[in-house]
């Protein structure tokens, strides 16, 4: 998951629900020829920046999780884990969420800090 050319923000979050819905909405506008694709790319790059900043500044929540690691992969500075029977503990263990499996895609925090 490479950082964008001009700005050093990952486009990782585009794969999340917020990013994918934005992409969908942009696609709709492009399909209707209301905007051109270059403008949509600019929107997405702004999104990369905003969500990265928002997650680091606005969010204070902590989380711990345990599970059994099914697959791991480290490629191009990106860790990908597939964890099975995973248990997430949030709010200091107050709420617990379990899932059969979860996929973690994680980029290096250092590189995004360098900017």
Q: Nearer Cβ to other proteins, position 24 or 76?
A: 24
Instruction: Yes or no: say if 58 and 76 are a contact pair by the CB < 8 Å rule.
Output: no
Q: How far is the CB of 74 from other proteins (least distance, A)?
A: 8
Instruction: Yes or no: say if 48 and 41 are a contact pair by the CB < 8 Å rule.
Output: no
Q: How far is the CB of 76 from other proteins (least distance, A)?
A: 13
Binding site for other proteins (CB under 8 A): 10, 12-13, 15-18, 21-22, 24-26, 28-29, 34-36, 38-39, 42-43, 46-47, 49-52, 54-56, 58-69, 72, 74, 79, 81-83, 86, 88, 90-91, 95, 97, 99-109, 112
Q: Nearer Cβ to other proteins, position 4 or 104?
A: 104
Q: Nearer Cβ to other proteins, position 2 or 34?
A: 34
Q: Nearer Cβ to other proteins, position 76 or 95?
A: 95
| Cα separation values, 114 from 7, 55, 83, 110, Å | 10, 17, 29, 6
Give the side-chain half-sphere CA count within 13 A for 25. Answer: 9
**Whole-angstrom distance, CA of residue 104 vs CA of residue 5:** 24
Instruction: Yes or no: say if 26 and 35 are a contact pair by the CB < 8 Å rule.
Output: yes
């Amino acid at each position: 998951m490479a950082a964008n050319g001009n700005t050093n923000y990952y486009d990782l979050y585009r794969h999340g629900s917020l990013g994918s819905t934005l992409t969908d909405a942009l696609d709709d506008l492009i399909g209707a020829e209301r905007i051109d694709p270059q403008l949509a790319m600019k929107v997405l790059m702004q999104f990369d920046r905003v969500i990265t900043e928002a997650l680091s500044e606005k969010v204070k929540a902590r989380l711990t999780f345990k599970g059994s690691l099914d697959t791991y992969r480290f490629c191009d500075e990106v860790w990908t884990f597939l964890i099975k029977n995973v248990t997430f503990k949030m709010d200091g263990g107050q709420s617990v969420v379990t899932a059969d499996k979860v996929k973690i895609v994680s980029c290096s925090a250092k590189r995004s800090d360098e900017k």
